[in-house]
Amino acid sequence: MSLSKSLAAVGTVAALSLSLAACGGSSAPQAAGCNVGISMPTRSLERWINDGEGLRSKLAAAGCTVDLQYADNKTDQQISQIQNQVAGGSKILVVAAIDGAALAPVLAEAKKQDATVIAYDRLINGTEDVDYYATFDNYKVGQLQGQYIEDTLKLKDGKGPFNLEAFAGSPDDNNAKFFFAGAWDVLSPYIQKGQLTVPSGKAPKSAAEWASIGIQGWASDKAQAEMDNRLSSFYGGGKKVDVVLSPNDSLAIGIEASLKSAGYKPGADYPIITGQDADKANVKATLAGEQSMTVWKDTRALGEQVFKMVKSIADGQKPEVNDTKSYDNGKKIVPSYLLVPEVVTKDTVKSKLIDSGFLKSSDVGL
């Protein structure tokens, strides 16, 4: 070998080891196996921006190649983004589905390219091709909302009757069914006993009929329009709403706007309103007395769990799960990791959301 050739060879080896070193320390996933496509539903809701960015930056810092896409709440867009990710070499897909029933064909394509699929926050239904699921305990989210209402109205002590209006989430989101079931299992016995009455009549006979009061796309304006209708049609003659079961913060914002335009003001006669996500606008509303609680899901913890899952998969190991019973997607029971949601009220905004660094005091005017 000529001197110049062997110098070039030494240079190549040095460059190679430098680039391997740049991929991270020994605990980092192998860059070759850590090519990740993240598919999030929409940028229109704060939580998905935080979820996507949080996970992307953790993975990138660990040396993974990451492609993060948002699909504007449009299923077709999400499908083509996933197709592009697979074509671009993503071997691990992290997907928060818009329509949990629409992704089977694209995941079948992904499987042909040996991709491993993690359903993020929302389960993907009707397919064998989802390997893991990481989420918060969705039934528990609804149960916390129901129990908050039960405790605040002292329903266990037989108090009532109170006027309840109930809402459910987007009919295409598998989580929405679990949220509703958790809340309805607590509340519906009180409807039967007459302690809760539902003037609009929009009270599903069983939790299974939740989609009849679902708000498509979790849209605030649709929730507002629905609440406007109920207030004008069923609350004439001084009748007041005492409590609104809202499954999340985006619906709660619409419902609060509707109540405001109907003349409701924070204070003794203002209804109880539940929520979920600890979005900034809703935390502000909670501090202002326009919302009673939100169920906080620390999306950083979900990101951390999914990061660990991705890392295990990239390292050729089995990821940790803590539930192998609850999430049947119609084709298989998807091994899941469930995190624990928590109630936040006006009194715990500081101790839970600010002190943990989830929100800054300036975000919520504290």
Residue ranges that bind ligand BGC, judged by CB under 6 A: 45, 47, 121-122, 173, 175, 218, 248, 250, 276-277
CA–CA distance, 337 with 132 (Å, rounded to integer): 8
Q: How many residues does the chain have?
A: 366
Least distance to ligand BGC, CB of residue 327, Å: 13
List the one residue out of 193, 195, 185 whose CA is nearest residue 162. 195
Least distance to ligand BGC, CB of residue 45, Å: 5
Using CB positions, name the residue nearest to ligand BGC.
248
Least distance to ligand BGC, CB of residue 55, Å: 15
Least distance to ligand BGC, CB of residue 138, Å: 7
Nearer to ligand BGC, 150 or 277 (CB): 277
Least distance to ligand BGC, CB of residue 136, Å: 7
Nearer to ligand BGC, 242 or 298 (CB): 298
Phi-psi region at 126: left, alpha or beta (left = phi > 0; alpha = psi -120 to 50): left
Nearer to ligand BGC, 121 or 290 (CB): 121
Nearer to ligand BGC, 39 or 175 (CB): 175
Least distance to ligand BGC, CB of residue 345, Å: 18
CA–CA distance, 128 with 151 (Å, rounded to integer): 41
Least distance to ligand BGC, CB of residue 212, Å: 19
Nearer to ligand BGC, 99 or 290 (CB): 99
What are 119's two structure tokens?
A: 């359903």
CA–CA distance, 184 with 209 (Å, rounded to integer): 11
Least distance to ligand BGC, CB of residue 40, Å: 10
Nearer to ligand BGC, 136 or 162 (CB): 136
CA 128 to chain centre: 22
Return the exposure string of 91-114: e unless at least 16 CB atoms fall within 10 Å of the residue's CB, then b.
bbbbbbbbbbebbbebbeebbeee
Q: Which residues contact 45 (CB under 8 A, 6 or more apart)?
A: 218, 250, 277, 279
Nearer to ligand BGC, 162 or 327 (CB): 327
Nearer to ligand BGC, 175 or 258 (CB): 175
Least distance to ligand BGC, CB of residue 263, Å: 28
Amino acid at the residue 101: A
Nearer to ligand BGC, 35 or 305 (CB): 305
